[in-house]
Structure 1
Amino acid sequence: MTESGTRGLSFGEIADRYDRFRPGVPAAALDWLLPDGCETVVDLAAGTGALTRRLVDLVQYVVAVEPDPRMRETLARNCPEARLLPGTAERMFLPDGSADALLISMAWHWMDPRRAMPEIARVLRGGGTFGVLWNHRDLSVSWVADLDRFTRAQRVRESGRGVAAQAPSRDVMDPPTGSLFSPLVELRLTWSMPVTAEEIVGLMGTDASAIALSTEARHAVDERVAGYLRAELGLSGDRTIDLPMACRCLRTTRNPDAAP
């Protein structure tokens, strides 16, 4: 596992929160990513199963691969319909050519492309689909960007590092297709979901920079974010607001004649 992949295991520390507050995947994205007649799909780096739970309603056989045992425990409890396996993008315990599709949601940046792409190609049948998606708060919307800046500033304050609260980079290298896959095609879409103040606070607290804080520091940031939502958006209690989201999807096809 890569160093960044090891850091990715820190999400298991907040598995219950991650499971409760992380958004699902919009239906339009899955309609575009899943190939016609898909019978077996692998959800790689499945986490607590936000994508897995959608896939079991669409595909007959779903395999969720997740390296963190704390995440797997939550996923197994909430989505027993899926087959759950340990593993990483660099090593999956699955037979050659066993999947019609393999999808990765919000986790490609934790993987080593040089080792992951041949392994993904090995697991996919010839002509199978590999898809990657990112599903973020839409920072092109002014109030969402303002909330994001405020929250990052509070994390910096609690971390004690005294560095500028710069915007998180969205510049993740796309999967290299090489000879194993066809050229990537892209879909971008926007959607929204109704959320309460509690749900926004919970979602913000699943960011990687939040998980790096101590439990006490995370709680302090949560309290300040809740106060910001009350003061700036008048959001508290059961009142909801539509949270704008942006989803970027990439799709490619496994070349039947290329050996991984």
Structure 2
Amino acid sequence: MDGSATPGLSFGEIAERYDRCRPGVPSAALDWLLPDGCETVIDLAAGTGALTRSLVDRVPQVVAVEPDPRMLDILARNCPQARALPGSAEQMPLPDRSSDALLTSMAWHWMDPRRALPEIARILRGGGTFGVIWNHRDVNVGWVAALDNFSRTLRARASGRDAADATSRRHVPDPAPGLLFGPMNEVRLSWTARLSAEELVGVLGTDSSAIALSAEARRLVDDGVTGYVRDVLGLSGDRTIELPMECRCLSMTRNPGAVP
């Protein structure tokens, strides 16, 4: 995640919206990921702090590392309990063996595994936990899949891409333990986020394919999704809906004797 040309840094273009609309992580995920007696945890690629805000209620020392200064400014302002630092998965401004756990939510796909895994191992104490969180809308639910397909198609048309490819998702390989980490463990959780129409449109507008659009194209897509939410889902004004979510958590333990 180094350099201004990194695609992940485009999220800073809508940092305020990202902070306002992105759903947090279910508490059960942190129950499973955080090791017993965790004193220090790093939130890597922390964005505007959706995960960070949950961690400060659980762990005495929380360090949020984020490469985009626009995102980091919002995080520092809204979550002063955490230590906010500029940095990336490939280069963190932290000493060796300084953390009991390192978590990253919805960001592993922006990282270079060949450089990130040794750096993560350097930061973790022996026996420390490396956790990856994927927190998506549950497209196994019919109305969620239909809404997802509709919004992706609008974005594809707005960007000039083939709408037939709008629903394709890039496969992201899981982290490979190698010699530095023990075997991968996994848990899948289902939960719901209660959202208004405005919040639901906002969540869809934080997808990476929406952020890649121009400001005018994003506005037009928002208008189209707003109409769909109103006319198809019957959602407007103060009415809310429970958005089904699925959270996939991966966890590996740092091998004490392995040298990065």
TM range (shorter): over 0.9
Q: For the Cα contact (< 8 Å) 1:149–1:165, is it kept in 2? A: no
The letter for the 1-side match of 2:151 is T
The answer to whether the Cα contact below 8 Å between 2:42 and 2:64 also exists between their aligned partners in 1 is yes
The CA deviation at 1:5 is 7.6
Per the alignment, residue 21 of structure 1 pairs with: 21
Question: Is the Cα contact below 8 Å between 2:133 and 2:249 reproduced in 1?
Answer: yes
The residue aligned with 2:77 is 77
- Check whether the contact 1:230–1:236 (CA below 8 A) recurs between aligned residues: yes
Structure 1 length-normalised TM: 0.97
- Of 100-109 and 1-10, the range deviating more from structure 2: 1-10
RMSD, matched Cα: 1.4
Distance 2:199 2:205 in 1: 10
What CA deviation, in whole Å up to 9, does each residue of 1:73-124 have, x standing for no partner? 1001100000011110000010000000000000000000010000000000
d(CA) in 2 for partners of 1:62, 1:90:
19
The answer as to whether partners of 1:180 and 1:258 remain within 8 angstroms in 2 is: yes
**1:78, 1:249 → 2: CA distance?**
26
Q: How far has the Cα of 1:148 moved from its partner?
A: 0.6
Q: How far off is 1:3 after superposition?
A: 8.3
Pairs within 5 Å for 1:105-184: 105-169=105-169, 171-184=171-184
After TM superposition, the structure 1 stretch with the greater mean CA deviation from structure 2, 151-160 or 95-104, is: 151-160
Paired residues in the alignment total 260
Task: Give, in angstroms, the shift of residue 161 of structure 1.
Answer: 3.2
Q: Which residue of 2 aligns with 1:37?
A: 37
User: Which position in structure 1 is the counterpart of 2:246?
Assistant: 246
1:33, 1:110 → 2: CA distance? 21
Seq. identity, %: 70
Query: Given that residues 5 and 110 in structure 1 are in contact (C-alpha distance below 8 angstroms), is that contact kept between their aligned partners in structure 2?
Result: no
CA distance in 2, matches of 1:209, 1:168: 11
Q: Which runs of 5+ in 1 are unaligned?
A: none
Task: Flag structure 2 segments of 5+ consecutive residues without an equivalent.
Answer: none
Q: Distance in 2 between matches of 1:100 and 1:2?
A: 25
1:24-79 residue CA offsets vs partner (Å, 9 max, x unmatched): 00000000000000000000000000000000000000000000000001001100
Query: Could you state the TM-score of these two structures normalised by the residue count of structure 2?
Result: 0.97
**2:211 equivalent in structure 1:** 211
Structure 1 Cα separation of the partners of residues 198 and 124 of structure 2:
40
